[in-house]
Amino acid sequence: MLSALNRAKVIVSQFNTSVTATSNKIATSSIVTARTYTATSTAAMTDTSTYKFNHTMLRVKDPQKSVAFYNHLGMSLVNKFDFPENKFALYFLAFDSPKAASHGKHWTDREGIVELTHNYGTEDDPNYKPHNGNKEPKGFGHLCISVDNIQAACKRIEDAGYRFQKKLTDGRMRHIAFALDPDDYWVEIISQNPVDQTENVTTTDVSTYRENHSMIRIKDPEVSLKFYQDIMGMRLMRTNEAKEAGFNLYFLGYGPPAGDKTANGVNPTAEREGLLELTWNYGTEKEEGKVYHDGNSEPQGFGHICVSVDDLEAACKRLEEKGVSWKKRLTDGRMKNVAFVLDPDGYWIEIIQNERYGKPPGQY
């Protein structure tokens, strides 16, 4: 009998037999829980209200440095999968304190996970550097952490020797900052409390932090919003129009709608986790062809976002009926328990089973 580890995890990089070892690099891999389906499962219904924006995958150079950075932000290693035979490892980090939104849950039943993909040897390669998505070719933008007392939180990050793309005191926007992780991925810092009320507070409690959102740039908001709402089942939580600057931000996610305002006067989604921010720069919808980089062609960096679902086979059947573009169907290749959908801009969306709703026969 297979061990629980071998039963529970498979390698997505093996899904496409036509992919060469060079282009594969194992870097686009993710681990999912194996699941055996019965004939009756194809008729099962899927409920998009149960879906979760599970994780965002980033390739990293040195996992020790990257894990230490996210640990410093208060995230914990909730899962690690090591595959020495294929020379890569995956690290899943999330906020997991008793005050965290997903404390103690199975990794597939969470939102706001950061998956770090490390291909062996990159830490010793002086020429290897993941692409952070904010230099050409652009695409992925940033992760975002919401904190209790933003001034104290930013000072704590800076005191630990980490760099900033934008400090609170830079520019006109004094309510947000952007820290840089060891691979120069941007990590936005926003406040859960009014900034003017936390200015003189010197303490910060990392157990209250949230992995609030992940940002990607989009070409056409009408097309992308329709895709993420009608097809992926997300809800539009908030829209931020910056007309003078020439862009709009759209925040989507699963779960209950966001209110118009909160008791503490900050944005109504600041205490949420697992949101998707779509950034539209005015005029891109008029450009010909593909505008943004998906992160999986060279130069590589960001890999995918992931949605966990109640019934993987039923969810994929629904997506097929919706006419989605596939990177990998469940029936493609040898791996029958993971799928990848392409969004309108070509970003990869991994679809996995949320184990809260069932495990394969022979429970482990």
Beta bridge partners of 59: 117
Return phi, psi of residue 140, to 5°.
Answer: -60, 145
**Comparing C-alpha atoms, which of 152, 154, 167 is closest to residue 199?**
152
Listed in sequence order, the residues at least 6 apart from 6 whose beta carbon sits closer than 8 Å to its beta carbon are none
Contact of 156 with 203, CB cutoff 8 Å: no
Q: Confirm whether 222 is a catalytic residue.
A: no
Is 158 in contact with 170 (CB distance < 8 Å)?
no
Task: Quote the Cα angle for 355-359-363, to 5°.
Answer: 130
* Residue 90: φ, ψ to 5°: -120, 135
Rounded to the nearest angstrom, the gap between the alpha carbon of residue 335 and the centroid of all alpha carbons in its chain is 22
72 annotated among ligand-binding-site residues: no
> Helix and strand tally (H, E) in the chain?
7, 18
Is residue 350 a known part of a binding site? yes
DSSP states along 162-198? --EEE-TTSSS-TT-EEEE-TT--EEEEEESS-HHHH
277 is in an annotated binding site: yes
Is 159 in a helix, a strand, or coil?
helix
Write down the catalytic residue from 271, 313, 350, 355: 350
Judged by DSSP in three states, 208 sits in helix
C-beta separation of 352 from 306 below 8 A: yes
Q: Which residues are catalytic?
A: 350
Q: Which residues are annotated as a binding site for Zn(2+)?
A: 277, 304, 350
Q: Which residues are annotated as a binding site?
A: 277, 304, 350
